[in-house]
Amino acid sequence: MTTTDTFAVEAEPYPFEFSPATCALLIIDMQRDFLEPGGFGEMLGNDVSLLRRTIEPNRKLLALWREKGWQVMHTREGHRPDLGCLPPAKKVRGRSPTTIGDPGPMGRILVRGEAGHDIIKELYPLPTEPVIDKPGKGAFYQTDLELVLKNRGIDTLFVCGVTTEVCVNTTIREANDRGFRCIALSDCCASYFPKFHEAGLAMIKAQGGIFGSVTGSKALLASLQAREAA
Ligand code: TIU
């Protein structure tokens, strides 16, 4: 691969071209707190099993990205142990008897360093893969993600993770405003509400791809294989 190599994948609303040298796989918040019982997701009243279908396609895509030597980054939503970065308005939202910072079966809920805050073992980051800790839903707010992307020469993001309409959507909107090209991988994203997953993807790709593009991991893998066979 040279830095000028370009690829294309079938996508909506039109084929998406990218150069591996300037793209990154950005995996959003695939944390135990969202995907396993006893964490933040369940505390909010959600059925966390609805997100688990994303694990296998993410695992396959991550394996391919690593094999090719392309760039990978991960994010985690969570707060400092002293809760200094937790807005009071976020702490009380949901009116749950247990809230962010309180003890749970996987440690203090949504707190950095606790078991529940960690990324699930199937997608565990390598030491060379930046992990961006974010206090909010968007991965750019109060983080150094933009600086890391700039320093690594990245202009295009393949975005996966949970949940589609919350942290994935917010991050893609933030990235789009900062001039990054985004494509969401539909089967690698999920919501606790299937209709919100569909709506979240529809909002990205509507109006000529107002925030970005959408494809599936199978289409992406197929296009890469076809390219190799050519
Ligand atoms: N609740 C919900 O759907 N999502 C979040 O709170 N955070 C993320 O999406 N990561």
pLDDT band at 3 (very low <50, low <70, confident <90, very high): low
CA distance 137 to 5: 33
Say if residue 1's pLDDT is above 80.
no
Q: What is the pLDDT of residue 226?
A: 87
**Known catalytic residue at 47:** no
* Nearest-angstrom CA–CA distance, 150 and 18: 17
What's the predicted TM-score (pTM) here? 0.97
pLDDT of 129: 98
Strand partners, 106: none
Name the 3-class secondary structure at 94. Answer: coil
Asked if 203 and 12 count as a contact pair (C-beta separation under 8 A), the reply is no
**Of 33, 134, 160, 189, which one is the catalytic site residue?**
134
pLDDT, tens digit (0-9, with 9 covering 90-100), for 110-135: 999 999 999 999 999 999 999 999 99
Does ligand 1 come within 6 angstroms of the Cβ of 165?
A: no
Out of 133, 137, 160, 167, pick the active-site residue.
167
CA angle (187 as vertex; 66, 53 as ends), nearest 5: 95
pLDDT band (50, 70, 90) for residue 229: confident
Percentage of the chain with pLDDT > 70?
A: 98
Q: Give the residues across from 16 on adjacent strands.
A: 9
Instruction: Using pLDDT thresholds of 50, 70 and 90, give the confidence band for residue 137.
Output: very high
Task: Report the pLDDT value the prediction gives residue 64, as an integer from 0 to 100.
Answer: 96
Q: From 44, 99, 143, 159, give the residue whose CB has the most ligand 1 atoms within 8 Å, as the site to mutate.
A: 44
Atom of ligand 1 nearest to the CA of 44: 1
Assess contact for 50 and 194: CB atoms under 8 A. yes
- CA separation for the pair 58, 160 (Å, rounded): 7
* Whether residue 2 has pLDDT greater than 60: no
Crossing angle of helices 169-177 and 194-209, in 10° steps, is: 20
Please check the confidence at residue 104 and state whether its pLDDT lies above 60.
Answer: yes
